[in-house]
Amino acid sequence: MNLAAPIRQPALHGHRWLSVVAASALINTSYGTLSYSFSVLVTRSAMGGDLGTGAVALGFSVALLVSGVAAIAAGAIADVFGCRRLLAAGSVLGAISLGLLSLCNEPWQAILVMAFVMGPAMAATFYEPVYVLMNRWFSADERPRAYGVLTLLSGVSISIFTPLTRLLVDALEWQGAVAVLGAILVTVGLTVAALLPEGDLPESATTASKRLRSLGSDLLDGLHHTTAPFWAFSIAFFIGTAAFSGFSFHMISQLETRGFNEGAVAAAIGVTGLVSLPLRLGLPVLSARVSGSTLLAVCLVILAGSSVLASLTVSWWQVWLYVGVFGAVFGAVYPLRALAGSERFAGPYFGRLLGIQALLVAFGRAAGPLLIAVIGTDRAGYELGFRIAGAVLALSAIAGWVALRSMPRSDA
């Protein structure tokens, strides 16, 4: 089955590129406040010290699981109702979750807030709704450059929010830091949502009541437009995401077990965002000549090598080598996943298909940190876990590449 179907392109002209810049500001902020900040908050000198590192890690993992479930509905909402309201509501909900989190005194309170308030906010403010917008703004031959620009501009989140969270925790304690992060998210989110053009919505739902009635059937339609290769690629990427998420989430903690200073490590890991900038632009643009599926597989294999490298790190020069290898490609993985998918199944169901994939990606992102922790959080445990992650990541890269190459290309 060809998953592609024609979709009208809006006449946004040059405003599209300004919209990409605005969208990147929201992506930087949502990922920074709702994701990258937790690599600092989980430490014993922050939230992990009061509520327990295990509780924080569990709450974050459950939030990712909930975000995956919510992403299916978010994809349908983006297709049918539009993305601007989804992004605005998600930003408000994310800010509320961070505000509530700053008031938590017990682990169970934090876990509930992260799961049932933060999780849906992640689904509504991460990349997927913006990908749906960009498929409306740009034609198929324009998307590689557009995705490259978005990926480039969205590449500074880890560089800003990892050290910023560390500074806020040192100055305001973790409760004050989390509250400030929430204020940043709602300010940027509402501003960007007000500025973005919606583009053309599907013609099948022109009134709010009709859209509401059609939402359930639209979700089912997305499932009906999947194929065996689509599922094979999605499952392979899910497995790779678990490995990638597992070792990257524990990287700061892993280096602490090797005697490295946590503040210096946070700053070094923040540099990975800057290192990623050239290929964030270059790789999606290169996909106009080399298929996105091939580029994605190469990036995942390189990340597999960085995981093994991290398990061997004993000196600062090795830390910086890891920063260079990991940083070069990690930022292009999720945009390349969407771009590779758009090559094969773009069209009016694209948001719903991305939502289905986002569910599996969220499960992978949630499972990875927990699986690494189960293997062990001492030095020996991390060494074994990181090496297993590297092997799994390499195998999933090959499997995903084979699955995508078996699908027909889309012209939508």
Number of domains making up the chain: 1
Q: Give the model's pLDDT for residue 2.
A: 41
**SS3 string of the chain?**
CCCCCCCCCCCCCCHHHHHHHHHHHHHHHHHHHHHHCHHHHCCCCCHHHHHCHHHHHHHHHHHHHHHHHHHHHHHHHHHHCCHHHHHHHHHHHHHHHHHHHCCCCCHHHHHHHHHHHHHHHHHHHCHHHHHHHHHHHCCCCCHHHHHHHHHHHHHHHHHHHHHHHHHHHHHHHHHHHHHHHHHHHHHHHHHHHHHCCCCCCCCCCCCHHHHHHHHHHHHHHHHHCCCHHHHHHHHHHHHHHHHHHHHHHCHHHHHHHCCCCHHHHHHHHHHHHHHCHHHHHHHHHHCCCCCHHHHHHHHHHHHHHHHHHHCCCCCHHHHHHHHHHHHHHHHHHHHHHHHHHHHHHCCCCHHHHHHHHHHHHHHHHHHHHHHHHHHCCCHHHHHHHHHHHHHHHHHHHHHHHHHHHCCCCCCC
CATH number, domain of 121, equals: 1.20.1250.20
In-domain check, residue 3 = no
Q: What is the pLDDT of residue 64?
A: 87
Residue 9 lies in a domain: no
Residue 401 lies inside a defined structural domain of this protein: yes
Does residue 411 belong to any structural domain of this protein?
no
Domain assignment of residue 135, given as a range: 15-405
Asked if the structure places residue 357 within a domain, the reply is: yes
Q: Is residue 4 domain-resident?
A: no
Determine the pLDDT at residue 297: 94
What's the confidence (pLDDT) of residue 410? 59
Q: What is the pLDDT along the chain (412 residues), one digit of tens a residue?
A: 344 444 444 445 557 888 889 999 999 999 999 999 998 898 778 898 899 878 888 899 899 888 878 877 787 777 777 788 899 999 999 999 999 999 999 999 999 999 999 999 999 998 778 888 888 888 877 877 787 788 788 888 988 999 899 999 999 999 999 999 999 999 999 999 998 887 665 544 445 445 555 555 666 666 666 778 888 988 999 999 999 999 998 888 888 888 888 778 888 888 888 888 888 778 877 877 888 889 999 999 999 999 999 999 999 999 999 999 999 998 888 778 877 877 777 666 666 777 777 778 878 988 898 888 888 878 899 899 999 999 999 999 999 999 888 776 655 5
Indicate whether 126 belongs to any domain: yes
Structural domain includes residue 223: yes
